[in-house]
Amino acid sequence: MYFELNDVQLALKDSLKRLLQDRYGFEARRLIAANEVGHDQQTWQQLVELGLTGLFVPEIYGGFGSSSVDLLPVMQELGAALSLEPYLPVLMATTAIRLAGNDDQCREILPSVVTGGCRPVWAHYESAGRHAPWWIQTTAQLVEGVWVLDGVKSLVPGAPLADKLVVSARLRGLPIDRSGCGLFLVDTRSNDISVRNFRLVDDTLAGEISLKGVRAHLLGDAIDEKKTSAAIDGTLSVGIAAICADMTGAMRAAYKLAVDYLNTRQQFGRLIGQNQALRHRAAEMLVSLELANCMAIAAAVAVDTSNVGHIHLDLHRAKLSVARHARLLALHAIQLHGGIGMTEEYAVGHYLRRIHVLDQLLGDCDAHAIQLAALLSP
C-alpha cells in the first residue's frame, strides 16, 4: 500500500514536532511528571491553539472534521515525545459525543472542546471485564425523570484533569451484552463522584471513578441502542487506531536513540556499532518499525473507510502486530544501551513503559489475538 502525508498533514506534523521539542525535552518531561498536576497546562493550551482538540470535531461545531489518517502523524509525534497531556481520552470522549449526542448537545459541548474551555474524558473500562471491550456493569436507572448512575470505572486515563465524563452504562441485560447500553454525560463536580487518582507506569495521570447515585444526562434524544452501540464501537475504533500510531511514534524515537548510541559509544577503541551482531539487531529493529508503521496506517485507513466487514479485522490485526513489534523493538533498544538503558535518567527505558501502557489500553495482545481468531474461524 502506497501512503504519503499531504501538505496539510505535513505542516501540522512539523508544527507539533517543533512545539514538543521546545516544551517536552526529556528533562523537561521529567519535571512535568514529577509535579502534582501531572501535565503541562501551557503545552495543553498550545495544543488547543494548534487546533488539535478540534481535529475530530465537525466543521459545523467549530472543528476541522478531520480523519484518522490526519490524526496519525499527530499521535506519532505525541508518542515520540512521551507526552503526558490527556489528548487520547479527550479525543475518545469527543468522538463519543459526536457519534451519540444530539445536535443541541454537540452545539453546547463540542465548540468548548475546540477552544479548550471543556475537557471531557472517556470513562468505559471496568476491571471485572479484563480486556472485554463491551463489558459494562455500571448501571443507569431513570428515577423521577432523572438518569442515575451506579458503578465503578476502574481505569480512566486523564480523569484527574477532566471536567466532564462520557460514561458507558447498562440499561438492561448482562454485563457482556453488546445491546442494552447507553452513553451518559457526567459533570465531575458532582458530590456523588469519588475519584482515586494514580499514575500509570509511564507517569500518565489516571483515576478510578466510583459513581454512587450520580445524576447524568443521556447522550442523544432518547434511548437508541443501535446508535449507542455504533457510538461505542466507533469510539473504541478511533482509540485503537490512535494508540497504534502513538506506539509507532515511541518506536521511532527508541530506534533513533539506539542507533545514535551505536554510532557514538566506544569500547576497546572502536564504535560498538561496528560490531556486526549489533548491526543485525538494529536492522531487525528497523524491520519491526516499518511493519508496525504499515499496520498503524492500515488501522487509520480502516477507521476512515468504515467497511463494517473488515474494520474489526484490520484493527485487531493492527493492535496485535504493532504492540508485539513495539515491545520487541523497545527491549532491543534497551539491550543495545546496556545497563544505562534501565536507568531513570535515560529516555530509552521510558519508551518501553509507554509501550507497555498502550499495549494494555483497549485490549492487550492476547485479547486482540483471541478476538481475531474468533472472527477468522469458520
Could you report the per-residue pLDDT of 163-192, keeping only the tens digit for each?
A: 999 999 999 999 999 899 999 999 998 777
Could you report the per-residue pLDDT of 325-353, keeping only the tens digit for each?
A: 999 999 999 999 998 898 999 999 999 99
Domain end residue (candidates: 47, 80, 115) = 115
* Same domain, residue pair 25 and 51: yes
* Same domain, residue pair 281 and 158: no
At 307, is the pLDDT very low, low, confident or very high (cuts 50, 70, 90)? low
- Residues in a beta bridge with 214: 149
Query: pLDDT at residue 299 above 90?
Result: yes
Long-range contacts of 280-285 (CB under 8 A, 24+ apart): 281/332, 281/335, 281/336, 282/255, 282/258, 282/336, 284/332, 285/255, 285/258, 285/329, 285/332, 285/333
Domain for residue 293, yes or no? yes
* Same domain, residue pair 267 and 136: no
At 308, is the pLDDT very low, low, confident or very high (cuts 50, 70, 90)? low
Cell digits of residue 262: 551505536
Q: What is the pLDDT of residue 2?
A: 66
Domain end residue (candidates: 115, 135, 153) = 115
Domain that holds residue 141: 121-224
- Residues in a beta bridge with 182: 169
Domain for residue 184, yes or no? yes
* Same domain, residue pair 239 and 140: no
pTM for this model (two decimals): 0.96
* Same domain, residue pair 65 and 177: no
Domain for residue 279, yes or no? yes
At 52, is the pLDDT very low, low, confident or very high (cuts 50, 70, 90)? very high
Give the chain's mean pLDDT: 94
* Same domain, residue pair 130 and 75: no
Domain for residue 2, yes or no? no
* Same domain, residue pair 108 and 29: yes
* Same domain, residue pair 240 and 165: no
Count of domains for the chain? 3
CA distances in angstroms from 109 to 68, 105, 158, 165, listed in the order given: 21, 6, 18, 12
Measured in degrees and rounded to the nearest 5, phi and psi for residue 157 equal -60, 135
* Same domain, residue pair 257 and 214: no
Could you report the per-residue pLDDT of 89-143, keeping only the tens digit for each?
A: 999 999 999 999 999 999 999 999 999 999 999 999 999 888 888 899 999 999 9
Domain for residue 360, yes or no? yes
* Same domain, residue pair 125 and 97: no
Cell digits of residue 218: 443521556
Percent of the chain surpassing pLDDT 90: 86
Domain end residue (candidates: 75, 93, 115) = 115
* Same domain, residue pair 134 and 193: yes
* Same domain, residue pair 342 and 290: yes
CATH number of residue 197's parent domain: 2.40.110.10
Contact 137, 128 (CB under 8 A): yes
Q: What is the pLDDT of residue 227?
A: 93
